[in-house]
Structure 1
Amino acid sequence: MTGQLAGRTIFITGSGGVLGSTYVRRMLDQGARVVATDLPGHRAEALQAAHAGNAAFRFYDLDVGDEAQVTEIFKRVLADGWEPNVVLNNAAITGEMLMGAGKPFPDFADTSVADFERTLRTNLTGAFMVARQMDRDIVGRWPATLINVASMYALNGAHHPIYDGMPFKNFSAYGVTKAGIHGLTVWLAGYWAPRGATVNTIAPGAVFNNHSEEFQRRVGELIMMGRMAKPDEIADAMLFLCSAGAGYMTGQLVNVDGGFSAW
C-alpha cells in the first residue's frame, strides 16, 4: 500500500478518544501499520470494532500510569512482530474525563491533590515512562521518532471567562502537565540525537467535540480563524510529523491552533 506513511509502524497511547481515533483512521489510510493502545472500556471496544479485520491494525490494553504495564508493552509488541519506529504520547486525562467519573467540576481552591496527581501521573509521568521504555527497547536499534501531544494551553494561559456558566472548566493540572510535556521533548531531543531519534511536540488547539454553540462562539473569538478545529485538521499536521518529511525536525513545538497562540 502506498501513502504518506507507507513503511511506518506507529504506536499510539490514548487511541480511543476523538483525536486518537482520528489519528488511527488517517494513519491506516496513509499506509501505516498502527499499534493502538488505551484503557479497557467502550472507547477501546469501538476502536477495535472500527478496524476489525485490518491486518495493519493491532490493539493492546494499556494504562500509561501503570509502570508495570508500560515496562512490558514494547516487549509484547516486538514479540508479536511489530517494530514501532514512531511513538505518540497521546494519552491524557482532561477535566471533562474527571467529570465523566461522576465528580462535580471543582474550583481551583477545591481541587483535590488526588485528582491533580492522578492527572500528573497519566499526562506527564505516563509520557515519561513510555519514553523511558522507548529508550530501553527501541532507540538506537533503528531510526525512531517520538511525538508528544501537548495543547494550546501548554505555553498559553487559559481564558477563564469562556468557561463561565459552562458545565466544565479549564483544569489546572491539565495545563501544567501539557507544559511539562514540551520540557520532556526538548530534553530528549538532545539526549537521543546521537542515537538517530527525533522528538517533537504537537500542540492542538480547541477541537470541536459536540460543544455548545455558545462555547464555540466564545472560543472562536480567541482564534484568528474564528472557529474550533475539526479533528482531521489536527491529524493533517500529525501525519506530517510522523512522516519521513519531518526527518530534520527535532525539539520543536508545532502549534496547530488556528492562530490562537499568535495573538
Structure 2
Amino acid sequence: MADQLKGRTVFITGAGGVLGSTYVRRMLAEGARVVASDLPGKRAEALREAHDLNPDFRFYEVDVSDEDQITTIFQRIEKDGWQVNVVLNNAAITGELLMGAGKPFPDFADLSVSDWEKTMRTNLTAPFMVARQMDRDIVGRWPCTLINVASMYALNGAHHRIYDGMPFKNFSAYGVSKAGIHGLTVWLAGYWAARGATVNTIAPGAVFNGHSEEFQRRVGELIMLNRMAKPDEIADAMLFLASPAAGYMTGQIVNVDGGFSGW
C-alpha cells in the first residue's frame, strides 16, 4: 500500500542496525518523514550516505543511555521544524554486540553485573526515558503512537541447545530486558489512552544477518515456517503498526516470528 505513512513523522532509535536501517528505508518509501538516530560510527555514516539527500530524512547522533540527550531530543526535532508522532524504541544491546570488543562470550555464571546493567540501561531504561520524554513533550498535544521493539525471546524461553558450539550464546540480559519492554507497553497503553496515544510491542523472530548454515538449520527446526526472517518481513509488520490502520490497537504484542511462538 503506497504512501501508508504519508503525513507521519517517525523517530527511530538504533536506526543503523540491520532492522533499524530497513525500517528507515521502508518508511521513507511509504511517505513518512524519518528522524533516525544512532551512535556515531560506521552505522550512522552508512545511514547518512544512503539518505542524506532525501528531504524527508534527518539524522541525530543520540546515545539512548544518556539521560541528558534523551531529555532534549524531541525539543531539538521540533525546533528544527518537525513534530514527531510515531516513535520506535528500537535501540538495543545484544550479547554479540556487547562482546564485539573481543571479549569471550560469557557463560551465565560468568556474566558480570556491569555487562548486565549496561544491557538493561540500553534495552529497558532507555525506552522508559524515551517514553517519559514523549509524555512530557508530545502525548496529549497531538495523536501519537509508540512502538516498543521486543524479541521472540521476550515471552518465550531460549532453546539453549541450538547455541552449542556456536561463537555466541543466548544472552540472559537481552531476553529479560525484552520481556520488560512489553511490561512498559501495557502500562503505558492504559496510562496514555485518554490522551490520544497508543502503545504496542513488536516481537521480531530470528532475523538472518550472516548466520552460518548450521545455525540457520537449528533455528529453522524451531520455527513453523522452517527458516529465519528477512529484515523486510519484520518491516512489513512495523509499517502497519506505525500507520493509521493500527489506530484501534493498543497494549498488544505482535509476534512476527514465523510461528516460533505458536508451537
TM-score by length of 1: 0.99
Q: Deviation string for 1:191-250 (max 9, x for gaps)? A: 000000000000000000000000000000000000000000000000000000000000
Corresponding residue number in structure 2 for 1:235: 235
| Alignment partners' CA distance in 1, 2:98 and 2:122 | 12
State the one-letter code of the partner of 2:164: D
Q: Which residue of 1 aligns with 2:67?
A: 67
- Does residue 222 (structure 1) correspond to residue 232 (structure 2)? The answer is no
In 1, the alpha carbon distance for the partners of 2:39 and 2:249 equals: 31
SS of the residue aligned with 1:97?
helix
2:133 match = 133
Aligned to 1:5: 5
Q: Quote the Cα distance in structure 2 between the aligned partners of 1:76 and 1:252.
A: 30
- Matched with 2:247 is 247
Structural mapping, 1:88-237, within 5 Å: 88-237=88-237
2:80 paired with 1:80: yes
Give the aligned CA root-mean-square deviation in angstroms. Answer: 0.6
Per-residue deviation at 1:152?
Answer: 0.0
2 CA distance for matches of 1:140 and 1:93?
31
The runs of at least 4 aligned residues of structure 1 exceeding 6 Å deviation read none
Task: Specify every segment of 5 or more residues in structure 1 that has no aligned partner in the other structure, as ranges.
Answer: none
* Cα displacement (A) at 1:130: 0.3
CA offsets, 1:20-54, max 9 Å, x none? 00000000000000000001110011011010210
Instruction: Write the distance in 2 (CA, Å) between the matches of 1:197 and 1:222.
Output: 36
CA deviation vs aligned residue, 1:101-144 (integer Å, no higher than 9, x gap): 22110000000000000000000000000000010000000000
Aligned counterparts of 1:227 and 1:55: Cα–Cα separation in 2? 37
Q: How does the TM-score come out when normalised to structure 2?
A: 0.99
8 Å CA contact 2:144–2:198 kept in 1: the answer is: yes
SS in 1 for 2:10: strand
Alignment length (residue pairs): 262
Secondary structure (helix, strand or coil) at the match of 2:168 reads: coil
SS of the counterpart of 1:130? helix
Unaligned segments of structure 2, at least 5 residues: none
The SS at the match of 2:254 is strand
Asked whether the 8 Å contact 2:52–2:58 carries over to 1, the reply is: no
